[in-house]
Structure formats: C-alpha cells, structure tokens
Amino acid sequence: MDTHDLRGQRAQGLVEFAVIFPIFALLLFAIIDGGLLMGRYNNINNAAKEGARAGAVQSGDGDAALAAVVDRVKRQAHGELDSVPAAGNCGAFSATSDEICAEWVSGADGEAPGDVGASVRVTVKYRYRFLTPIVNWFSGDGWTIEACAVQREERPLDAPVNVDAGADSCETGGGGSTPTPPPVATDTPVPTNTPVPTNTTVATNTPAPGTPTRTPTRTRTPTRTPTATATPCPPGQHPRNNGNGCHDDHGD
C-alpha cells in the first residue's frame, strides 16, 4: 500500500468523524438536558404542593399566611428558583432570581380569600435554559416550565387580607397580569318532591243487591198484672171457705 492510499483513508475517517460527532454530541446533551429538565419540574412541582399545603393550614393574619407560603416554597425548592430568573408573575405567586413575592387574589365572585373551604392555589413558573447551545438558539431565552397545586383552606384567617398586598413587588419582579382563580364548585341543595295530602275514601260494607237483610221486629213487653189481696172481715165475721166475702157465726 503506498503512502497516497494511506493518507486517503485517514482523511476519509476524519471526515466521517467530523460528520458523526456533532450528531452524537447533540444526542448526548439532549439526554442530559432532558434529565435536568425533569429534575427541575419535579422540584418546582413539590415546591408548589408544599406551598399550597402551608397556606391551607396557616392561621393568623394575611401577612403571616403569605410569609408561610413563600418560606415553604423556598425551602422545598432548595435554591433552584434562585439559580436562574423565573418566568414572571403567575397566578397568586411569582418568583425572580432576586426575590420571591406572593399576593392575594379575590375569588371569581369577589369574595375575600382566607375563608374555610376556599381554594389555596400556588403556581410556580421556572425558565430553564438548556446546556446545548444549538437548542438554546431555537428556544430563545429558555423554556418555561410550570407547576400548580391547589389545596382547600382548613383554618380561617384571624384578620381580613388585603388583595393588593405585594402587587407592586410581584409586578416589578416578573410583570404580567394576575389571573383570577376559577370559581369553587359548591354543593347546591336539590329540591325534593313534597307529598301533597289527598282525601282518602274509607270503604263501607254495602249489601250486595238481592241479598236479604234482617229487619228487627218489635217484641211485646209483658206488663205486670195486679194480684188480688184478701180484705179483712169486720169484727164478728169470718171469711167464707170459697174466699168470696165474709159471714157471721150464725149465718152463711
């Protein structure tokens, strides 16, 4: 084999490597980015759940409840929300690389938050920037991932909350409008049919046609008959043997 052929094979192998290596590297970085992306999503999802749970069981005033939600989310996220700028304001919670802010939002019907049974919603948005430069070219400023958790309020707040609290800081941190949470479905009593009293006819024994009926007859009542009593005879006379009248000793 001459030197010319050997150089040609080396050049061919180098060209093939140059073509295959970028594709292989892209796939490798895609696998790494996919794993990191899923890890970030699980992290903020758990943080949203813990924050909603903290808000549901928090009592006291409105400021204490907000502080409890923010603190719980920060501790659960383990600093992941501070690693890159967040996507901005989302619902009742937003975060930036410099601060985490929270704000109250009114219900769909204008009711104040904080009542027992009301919904506590915590939504976390996070902007993830890919490690692969080529993917970043297509994704622009990163890919926004979002996690939301909803819990039922279990303890009422002692003091009414201000729905405008923290609005300025949230708008400064991320901007955007605060959406209104969806209305909470309540149990509506279903009307029931009330029974109406009806006239009930009582059945009587009616003699069948052609059936003889017994007619009571009058029974004669016996009357008392006076009993004859003996009349005493005057002095010197005796009653007759036949019972009729009296007689003296010398006559009949």
224-245 tens-digit pLDDT: 666 666 677 777 777 777 667 7
Count of Cβ atoms closer than 10 Å to residue 65 Cβ: 27
Copy the structure tokens of residue 89: 């304001």
Give the phi and the psi of residue 172 in degrees, each rounded to 5. Answer: -70, -40
The predicted structure's pLDDT at residue 235: 76
Q: Give the number of other CB atoms < 10 A from CB of residue 113.
A: 22
pLDDT at residue 88, as a whole number? 38
Q: What phi and psi values does residue 26 have, to the nearest 5 degrees? A: -65, -45
Distance between CA atoms of residues 76 and 70, nearest Å: 10
Name residue 191's amino acid.
P
- When pLDDT is cut at 50, 70 and 90, the band that residue 181 belongs to is very low
**pLDDT-derived band of residue 44, with 50, 70 and 90 as boundaries?**
confident
The model's confidence at residue 96, banded by pLDDT at 50, 70 and 90, is: very low
Q: Whole-structure pTM over 0.75, yes or no?
A: no
Say if residue 175's pLDDT is above 70.
no
DSSP-assigned letter for residue 144: E
CB 252 within 8 A of CB 237: no
Distance CA 239, CA 244 (A): 7
Q: Which helix (DSSP H) or strand (DSSP E) does residue 120 occupy?
A: strand 119-128
Whether the per-residue pLDDT at 166 is higher than 50: the answer is no
Arithmetic mean of pLDDT, 186-193: 60
Alpha-carbon distance 7 to 124, whole Å?
A: 58
